Amino acid sequence: MCGIFGVITNQEIPIGKIALEGIKRLEYRGYDSVGIVSQHEGKLFIKKDAGKIDEVHKKLKLDDFPGKVAIAHTRWATHGAPTKVNSHPHTNCTNNIAVVHNGIIENFMTLKKELIRNGHKFRSDTDTEVIPHLIEDKMKEGLDLKESIIEVLKICKGSYGLAILHLDLPDAIIVVRKESPLVIGIEPGKTTYCASDIPAFLPLTRICYILEDCEMAILRAGEVDFFNINTSEKIEKKSQQIEWSIDAAEKGGYKHFMLKEIYEQPTALRQTLKISEDEMKTFAQILLSAENIYITGAGTSLFASLAGKFIISRFLGKFIQAIECSELKIQLKDCLKENSVIIALSQSGETIDTIEAIRWAKKTQNVKILSITNIVGSSITRYSDHVIITRAGPEIGVAATKTYACQVLTLGLISLEIAKLRKQENEEEIQQYEKALKSTPQIIEAFLENNINLIKNTVKNLEKHSNYFFLARGISIGIAKEGGLKLKEVACRFIEGYSAASAKHGPIALVRKNFPIVFIAPPDETYERLIGNVMEFKARGGKIISFVVESDKKITELSDITIRIPQPGNKYFNLFSPITFIPALQLLAYYTAIFHNLNPDKPMNLSKTVTVH
Ligand code: M6R
């Protein structure tokens, strides 16, 4: 869940500045501590400390390093507290090897005890520190650095993206991956980069190689060689051209990535609408012939699944079960059938629980895996039968925003292909749904243009409240949960996102005068019953904040605050309301964070990509 970055060049460029800017673009992966090491004239130069990158930079001048090679790390603490000594890079006893690591060495305790018995001195509580010490031992046995790393990785259990410097190899960085992402960027003949994610070097180059599991790369200035660590043999890899725009990884004029990415939603949706019909058709055909269908993901991706299952079953006529990825194996272990299909959603394509779930399902019953992700070449793409890559562009804010909208849109497009193939609806009807789905970017644009003051005033009105209910019925339960998750993670409020019907079976006990209750209320078949639920909460003094369509009257009359989504109130638009309603809730969360002086891009304790169980 940490971020690693490396640079090696033969150009006259400020290596510290490049390393600092690169690692800053990965800060969404963790911000407990930061460290950079360069090597120059036979010495390692290390600066590291606990804290966010800007704070540490102020103290240590992280842009000032000598030499032409550096590696850097931003940490999300797992083993060992977020302190200076536990910050990466970690070195060996003789301080000639420096390592940055993203992942977990599961058997580090056993390895560490053995190393200590053999006289090694440890400085940190991390799992990572065993790696430089183990390499030191292997090199003492006479192996070169590359072979030593390969031998060390044979005894290390767990996951890793590693970047390693050694004073004896001053013109190289060695990188290796297993289960933790690593990509290589190159300016041929000049400079080579490695990083946990493409945006880290996007402003510098668009030529990229994706390292697969158990592959090693030796980076030299403007060159790279690849090896398979199981055979030690050299392998050939093809480079890819990254199509994301260069400013995609920058904040532009926005104060935060989260705000920028909320505003990018219309563009992201328009780009995703361009995905070929054939890709959607492949998914549609597989779903039409499947007996059991499950849809899975974590966090926001799970909530996109909750919307997606309604949208797809609307046309497929089959029940789709949404299961949290970490629960999938335990819930299906005795009943997963061969002719099943799993739709897996993951923005990053690296969430360990999602990957584990699909790998288990594939191995157990050879079920078909259909994945929707935002990242080309991510792990999920390797374990799936078919993949659709959404076109949201890089999402840097820790809170998922535009990628959620694009996931649901993709599920909408698949559902329309199903409708066309299944022919249960007449053509005109399908066209109406298609029109509604294709209008989602304009609806969001119109909302963003006209409602910011209303959202800000709502935030002010709610300033004293730190507990909320977010309630809805049917398809909108997913919206309530996702909107609630946003407010939780970026604004540190406590939210219960719940079924409005179930809320009276317990949660309603908490309601006192002015307790805020947010209702998500598009005028679908659940609307009349939802009115009853609004009244139940109003009768107990709750403050009602409702998200409704433009023409809404009944729930508006019962509400203290109404936020109107500018869309027609008919069944075609209702079906895609998980896309059009969500920006309003994202903005509510964003401005609440700002109001309470919280940085929405760096919520406490979070990392954007969760690669530990
Ligand atoms: O990359 P993924 O979509 O697999 O990530 C899943 C969750 O970790 C992610 O959605 C998380 O909940 C976000 N912080 C939500 O804003």
Taking the CA of residue 606 as reference, the ligand 1 atom at the shortest distance is 14
Q: How many residues does this entry show for the chain?
A: 613
| Cα-to-centroid distance, 179 and ligand 1 (Å) | 17
Collapsing DSSP states into helix, strand and coil, what is residue 396? coil
Domain boundaries, the chain: 3-250, 255-438, 448-604
CA 46 to CA 34: how far, in whole Å?
11
Ligand 1 atom 8, closest CA? 299
Please say whether the beta carbons of 343 and 361 come within 8 A. no
Taking the CA of residue 297 as reference, the ligand 1 atom at the shortest distance is 4
Substitution candidate for ligand 1 out of 301, 380, 398 with most atoms within 8 A of CB? 301
255-438 and 448-604 have identical folds: yes
As beta bridge partners, residue 223 has 220
Tokens of 185: 């960027």
Confidence of residue 47 (pLDDT cuts 50, 70, 90): very high
| Cα-to-centroid distance, 446 and ligand 1 (Å) | 27
In the sheet where 467-472 sits, what is the strand order?
A: 494-499, 467-472, 516-520, 543-549, 561-565
Average pLDDT value for residue range 110-116: 97
pLDDT at residue 231 in the model: 95
Give tens-digit pLDDT for 328-381.
999 999 999 999 999 999 999 999 999 999 999 999 999 999 999 999 889 999
Tell me which residue of 258, 259, 260 sits closest to 247, measured CA to CA: 260
Please say whether the beta carbons of 274 and 391 come within 8 A. yes
pLDDT at residue 613 in the model: 78
Ligand 1 atom 14, closest CA? 399
Tokens of 251: 């904040």
Give tens-digit pLDDT for 453-490.
999 999 999 999 999 999 999 999 999 999 999 999 99
Average pLDDT value for residue range 499-505: 95
CA 292 to CA 366: how far, in whole Å?
13
| Cα-to-centroid distance, 500 and ligand 1 (Å) | 25
CA 598 to CA 589: how far, in whole Å?
11
pLDDT at residue 377 in the model: 86
Please say whether the beta carbons of 546 and 517 come within 8 A. no
Ligand 1 atom 11, closest CA? 299
pLDDT at residue 609 in the model: 85
Please say whether the beta carbons of 349 and 378 come within 8 A. yes
232 pLDDT more than 90? yes
Give tens-digit pLDDT for 124-155.
999 999 999 999 999 999 999 999 999 999 99
Please say whether the beta carbons of 415 and 314 come within 8 A. yes
Q: What does the angle CA 18 – CA 19 – CA 25 come to, to the nearest 5 degrees? A: 90
Residue 157 has a CB neighbour count (10 Å cut-off) of: 14
| Cα-to-centroid distance, 373 and ligand 1 (Å) | 11
Please report which residue ranges of 423-504 form alpha helices under DSSP H: 427-438, 440-450, 452-461, 476-491
Please report which residue ranges of 451-540 form alpha helices under DSSP H: 452-461, 476-491, 527-539
List of residues 6+ apart from 196 with CB closer than 8 A: 2, 3, 4, 5, 26, 29, 102, 161, 180, 181, 182, 183
CA 293 to CA 310: how far, in whole Å?
12
Please report which residue ranges of 43-166 form alpha helices under DSSP H: 53-60, 108-117, 130-140, 145-155
DSSP labels, 376-392: TT-HHHHT-SEEEE---
Average pLDDT value for residue range 188-216: 95
- Treating both helix axes as pointing N-terminal to C-terminal, what angle do 582-595 and 452-461 enclose, rounded to 10 degrees? 50
Q: Identify the burial level of 233 via C-beta atoms within 10 angstroms of its C-beta, where 0-12 means exposed, 13-18 middle and 19 or more buried.
A: exposed
245 pLDDT more than 80? no
| Cα-to-centroid distance, 489 and ligand 1 (Å) | 11
Taking the CA of residue 348 as reference, the ligand 1 atom at the shortest distance is 1
pLDDT at residue 310 in the model: 97
Residues with CB under 6 A from ligand 1: 298-301, 346-348, 351, 354, 398-400, 489, 606, 609-610
Tell me which residue of 518, 568, 569 sits closest to 546, measured CA to CA: 518
Substitution candidate for ligand 1 out of 351, 353, 487 with most atoms within 8 A of CB? 351
The class level of CATH for 448-604 reads alpha beta
| Cα-to-centroid distance, 296 and ligand 1 (Å) | 12
| Cα-to-centroid distance, 349 and ligand 1 (Å) | 10
List the end-to-end C-alpha distance of the chain, in Å, as a whole number: 11
pLDDT at residue 75 in the model: 95
| Cα-to-centroid distance, 380 and ligand 1 (Å) | 14
Active centre residues (catalytic): 2, 608
Taking the CA of residue 399 as reference, the ligand 1 atom at the shortest distance is 16
Q: What are phi and psi of 165, to 5 degrees?
A: -115, 145
Average pLDDT value for residue range 190-209: 95
Average pLDDT value for residue range 434-452: 97
pLDDT at residue 109 in the model: 96
Give tens-digit pLDDT for 508-544.
999 999 999 999 999 999 999 999 999 999 999 999 9
Taking the CA of residue 354 as reference, the ligand 1 atom at the shortest distance is 4
Fold of 255-438: Rossmann fold (3.40.50)
| Cα-to-centroid distance, 237 and ligand 1 (Å) | 30
pLDDT at residue 260 in the model: 97
Give the H or E element holding residue 263.
helix 257-263
Confidence of residue 612 (pLDDT cuts 50, 70, 90): confident
Average pLDDT value for residue range 42-60: 97
Q: How far is CA 40 from CA 35, 93, 129, 315, in A?
A: 17, 19, 22, 63
Ligand 1 atom 16, closest CA? 399
Tell me which residue of 489, 482, 496 sits closest to 300, measured CA to CA: 482
CA 198 to CA 185: how far, in whole Å?
8
Collapsing DSSP states into helix, strand and coil, what is residue 608? coil
610 pLDDT more than 90? no
Match 């994945």 to its residue by tokens: 371
Substitution candidate for ligand 1 out of 258, 303, 347, 403 with most atoms within 8 A of CB? 347
Please say whether the beta carbons of 39 and 69 come within 8 A. yes
For residue 4, the one-letter residue type is: I
DSSP labels, 42-65: TEEEEEEEES-HHHHHHHH-TT--
pLDDT at residue 383 in the model: 94
Percent of the chain past pLDDT 90, that is, above it, reads 94
Question: What region, left, alpha or beta, does residue 338 occupy, with left being phi > 0 and alpha being psi -120 to 50 degrees?
Answer: alpha
Looking at every residue in the chain, the average pLDDT score rounds to 96
Substitution candidate for ligand 1 out of 328, 356, 610, 613 with most atoms within 8 A of CB? 610
As beta bridge partners, residue 4 has 73
Substitution candidate for ligand 1 out of 261, 608, 611, 613 with most atoms within 8 A of CB? 608
Q: What does the angle CA 394 – CA 400 – CA 406 come to, to the nearest 5 degrees? A: 70
CA 378 to CA 511: how far, in whole Å?
44
pLDDT at residue 1 in the model: 77
290 pLDDT more than 90? yes
Strand ranges (E), 313-401: 320-324, 340-346, 368-373, 386-389
The domain 3-250 is placed in CATH, from the list 3.40.50.300, 3.40.50.720, 2.40.70.10, 3.60.20.10, at 3.60.20.10
Ligand 1 atom 9, closest CA? 299
For residue 537, the one-letter residue type is: F
Taking the CA of residue 373 as reference, the ligand 1 atom at the shortest distance is 3
